[in-house]
């Protein structure tokens, strides 16, 4: 696995909008916070465009990202938000210059499209906060500060509380994954997950219980769940119930889907569509230790 170079004060970074449209003031405030961390910030020309639900047309969004990819002086690309549109953007990109000189890509949710592509090419990326999560109630979030530390070279090591549904065990492997809906939508494409020996991270927002079960059963039927060596479950935020009620929580649905396997499983890891949103280094080799006392995730 290849790591892009870590960042230093004075490095140039870019903020672009590859998917949903976003308010200009949110991005401009995020740019100011990045400048306070010592970075030179360039905002994509079309970052504030609007075209239905998208931040501009497919061509304009991909043009901004292509420019950031090709610019050798840009050391990291921050994404303003997810939503929907990254696969449409990805389909228009030429990544050849990126492979010659990789740079950090940072985001989550729909940004899982780009994480999946880089995973296929053995290049690490960061599942971490985007612009609206840099601050909360006019205070800089700890998740933003953790992200900056990671990008400057402090690789993650987390100790988190245990959960009643956790499955104990010790394992190491390459961390992969992201938003479950995106992972499932990429099945059968060139961005499909390569699961063998990987530790899979999943999170999601706004899904119905039955759809969550459908996605987990897809991963099971596709022999994904039997090949991974560990599972880390982040937030499943705003999961919707039906009438009549589905009868299981999100965690219980996931636990049932992996019940026949023996690898360690972690629930309620603090990463996903709410704060705190711990940054994780996708593509890194980690150790996962799940005990009755706590969960320790360490980048090796």
pLDDT tens readout for residues 3-60? 999 999 999 999 999 999 999 999 999 999 999 999 999 999 999 999 999 999 999 9
Separation CA 104–CA 82 (nearest Å): 17
Edge to edge, what strands does the sheet with 280-282 contain? Answer: 40-43, 12-16, 74-79, 104-107, 125-127, 280-282
Q: What is the pLDDT of residues 256-295, one digit of tens each?
A: 999 999 999 999 999 999 999 999 999 999 999 999 999 9
* Predicted local distance difference test score (pLDDT) of residue 150: 98
CB 184 within 8 A of CB 219: yes
Q: Does the global pTM surpass 0.95?
A: yes
Query: CA 222 from chain center: how many Å?
Result: 22
pLDDT of 242 strictly over 90 = no
Distances (CA, A) of 90 to 6, 61, 117, 178: 24, 10, 9, 17
Q: Which domains does the chain have, with CATH numbers?
A: 12-151 (3.40.50.10740), 157-299 (3.50.30.60)
């Amino acid at each position: 696995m290849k790591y892009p170079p870590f960042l230093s004060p004075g490095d140039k970074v870019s903020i672009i909008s590859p998917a949903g449209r976003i308010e200009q003031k949110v991005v401009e405030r995020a740019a100011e916070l990045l400048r306070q961390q010592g970075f030179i910030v360039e905002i994509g020309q079309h970052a504030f465009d609007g075209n239905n639900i998208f931040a501009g047309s497919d061509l304009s969004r991909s043009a901004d990202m292509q420019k950031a990819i090709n610019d050798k002086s840009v050391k990291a690309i921050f994404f303003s938000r997810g939503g929907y549109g990254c696969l449409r953007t990805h389909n228009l990109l030429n990544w050849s210059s990126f492979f010659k000189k990789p740079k950090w890509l940072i985001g989550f949710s729909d940004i899982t499209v780009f994480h999946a592509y880089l995973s296929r090419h053995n290049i690490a990326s960061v599942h971490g906060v985007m612009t609206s999560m840099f601050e909360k109630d006019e205070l800089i979030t700890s998740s933003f500060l953790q992200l900056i530390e990671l990008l400057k070279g402090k690789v993650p090591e987390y100790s988190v509380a245990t959960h009643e549904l956790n499955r104990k065990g010790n394992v190491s492997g390459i961390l992969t994954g992201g938003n479950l809906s995106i992972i499932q939508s990429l099945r059968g494409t060139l961005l499909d997950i390569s699961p063998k020996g990987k530790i899979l991270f999943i999170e999601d927002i706004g899904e119905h219980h039955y759809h969550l079960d459908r996605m987990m059963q897809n991963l099971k039927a596709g022999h994904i769940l039997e090949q991974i060596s560990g599972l880390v479950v982040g937030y499943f935020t705003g999961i919707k119930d039906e009438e009549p009620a589905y009868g299981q929580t999100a965690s219980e649905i996931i636990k049932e889907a992996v019940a026949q396997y023996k690898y360690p499983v972690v629930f309620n890891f603090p990463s996903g569509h709410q704060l705190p949103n711990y940054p994780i280094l996708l593509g890194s080799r980690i150790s996962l230790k799940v005990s009755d006392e706590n969960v320790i995730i360490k980048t090796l």
